[in-house]
A and B are shown apart, each in its own frame.
Chain A
């Protein structure tokens, strides 16, 4: 089910086993999560990535305790917490809507968790001050939360959730409401905050770029299931599913048939009869029969003079971006392929209609599930 993972010694902060959540009954039943399995390690920045409606929020709400599982178990540091109410779980949430208490000041909001834990007043004051400094809102301590900008409210929500030093911090699309520039800043701040505090972050986003830049590991979700878990490089370079490959970055996908398997390397025959070698990421992907192969545009190379091309096609379009050039070619199979930065591109070198050959390095081609 999951791709190749780097084995580490860190133990699991949150373990999720066979987690299923169904809303409604009978014909109106919606399965928001379907037998989800995941281990989130201590001190890691873990991201749940997937399109809207795939169940990311539901998974967070189950971990926080706002919903109870239909089936399955959630464990925190090895202890089953599935049945504990939210206030008994040492886990805090940064809500998408921030959910700041409008009848309390910024400082009272931040101190709320510690107050509920029965900490002495001096400690609450100290920690609140430290948190205010951490998110650079010292000057706002006495303000009401509706007097703050969106970015400032965001930081208060973050400080409030961090103040009780939870074992795990859950963040549900915390940056979605911010404008682009602020979002970029907050991405960096969040990342360094996570490193500083050493708290396990479970971060939800539907933005693949955000996931790639911030995460230690990413779980890609679709329709209530986790398709692949891995480091940003795993996910980007070695996608296991067609959905994952499509969802993250640009990729060329060609249809074919697996003819044989040798030492874990598949020989795939494309629709025009060309045979290519490719790497299946999972056992399911390695099954003989119809298969899709994928290669990133930047991994395709133009054939040099005298070199045998893997595939050949006709140039349809040359798109110049400044930093990169994309060459769109139509293959003999009838499928389209994009080649990024095909060597040094002199102006006017490739014209629509020209026939060219491309080399696909076998180690960079993936067979998808």
Chain B
């Protein structure tokens, strides 16, 4: 800071900055800190994954490698049903929330500026700040009221609840994408005789594609992993995978649970990696 040479942009400042980075790495304990962070983040998952391959029934005593628990898990009707419910709910929630989020993002970026626009962003994103348990209880009360008024029951409630809390997650990447897209391309299309609907389908939507895909994947992962809201809303026969795991743990942890959890982790990681890939592509 005190050295004026670093404050002024000069050809010399580039190598200097590189040296500073090297200096930071050379600081005693830097490598150790990095490793501690990584271990703290991933050790539990590594233990979980490791014991899913245990030959033994124990989740603390390693005896040998086997895939038995995976076979067991895949044959377990409870797990299979739960997985199916999870996928159904997540798919529905993804489709609905992505459509709503896309429309909301278009409305907040592709229309004339209106008063209260900032407030609208806030309102759409607020569910991210509200404690999930509060959202869960609020949704539960609303649904109780609807059930009483209509007498309707079923998995629809769970699907709607998921669709609702997934909206802000789907909204964020879509709006981010729209904000980097200048209006000029859409104007160019209009200039070349494309009526508004064609501008939307031939230019806006294709360019928005990566944002929509990111939003949808984020919504899918969030729905798949949800516990609290599902726990309160789900009726009998509507057990999702995380809820099943939660219930199974009460009866004691077996490597079978580890195996299911590992699959869930794998699916999430895969989707997140795909998300990174899509976002990398969209930056070009």
Interface residues of A (CB under 8 A from B): 64-66, 85-87, 91-93, 95, 97, 99-103, 112-113, 116-117, 146, 160-161, 164
Interchain residue pairs with CB less than 8 A apart (12): A85-B196, A86-B191, A87-B196, A91-B191, A95-B187, A99-B182, A101-B188, A112-B194, A116-B189, A116-B193, A161-B192, A164-B192
A91 to B184, CA, bound (A): 16
A93 to B190, CA, bound (A): 10
A97 to B190, CA, bound (A): 16
- B22: CB under 8 A from chain A? no
A101 to B186, CA, bound (A): 9
Q: Which residues of A contact B193 (CB under 8 A)?
A: 87, 113, 116-117, 164
A160 to B191, CA, bound (A): 11
Contact between chains at B195 and A87 (CB < 8 Å): yes
Within 171-206 of B, Cβ neighbours of A (below 8 Å) are at: 182, 184-185, 187-196, 198, 203, 206
- B207: CB under 8 A from chain A? yes
- Which 3 pairs, one residue from A and one from B, show the smallest C-beta to C-beta distance? A113-B192, A116-B193, A99-B188
Q: Which residues of A contact B189 (CB under 8 A)?
A: 101, 112, 116
Q: Which residues of A contact B207 (CB under 8 A)?
A: 102-103
A101 to B195, CA, bound (A): 16
A116 in contact with B185 given A102-B207, A103-B206, A146-B284 (CB within 8 Å):
no
A160 to B192, CA, bound (A): 8
A100 to B191, CA, bound (A): 12
Contact between chains at A92 and B192 (CB < 8 Å): yes
Q: Which residues of B contact A87 (CB under 8 A)?
A: 190-196
Q: Which residues of A contact B198 (CB under 8 A)?
A: 116
Q: A66-B190, A92-B192, A117-B193 are in contact. List 6 more A-B contacts (CB 8 A).
A: A87-B191, A97-B182, A99-B188, A101-B188, A116-B194, A164-B192
A102 to B206, CA, bound (A): 10
Cβ 8 A contact of B187, one of A86, A100, A103, A161: A86
| Nearest-Cβ distance from residue B209 to partner chain A, whole angstroms | 8
Contact between chains at B191 and A93 (CB < 8 Å): yes
A85 in contact with B187 given A101-B203, A103-B207 (CB within 8 Å):
no
Q: Which residues of B contact A146 (CB under 8 A)?
A: 284
A99 in contact with B185 given A116-B198, A146-B284 (CB within 8 Å):
yes
Contact between chains at B191 and A64 (CB < 8 Å): yes
| Nearest-Cβ distance from residue B111 to partner chain A, whole angstroms | 15
Q: Which residues of B contact A112 (CB under 8 A)?
A: 189, 192, 194
Interface centre among B185, B189, B190, B196 (most CB of A within 10 A): B190
A87 to B284, CA, bound (A): 29
A112 to B194, CA, bound (A): 9
Contact between chains at A66 and B188 (CB < 8 Å): no
Cβ 8 A contact of A116, one of B187, B192, B284: B192
A80 to B47, CA, bound (A): 75
| Nearest-Cβ distance from residue B12 to partner chain A, whole angstroms | 29
A92 to B190, CA, bound (A): 10
Q: Which residue of A lies closest to B185 (CB)?
A: A99
Cβ 8 A contact of B184, one of A99, A116, A117, A161: A99
A164 to B193, CA, bound (A): 9
A100 to B184, CA, bound (A): 9
Q: Which residues of A contact B182 (CB under 8 A)?
A: 97, 99
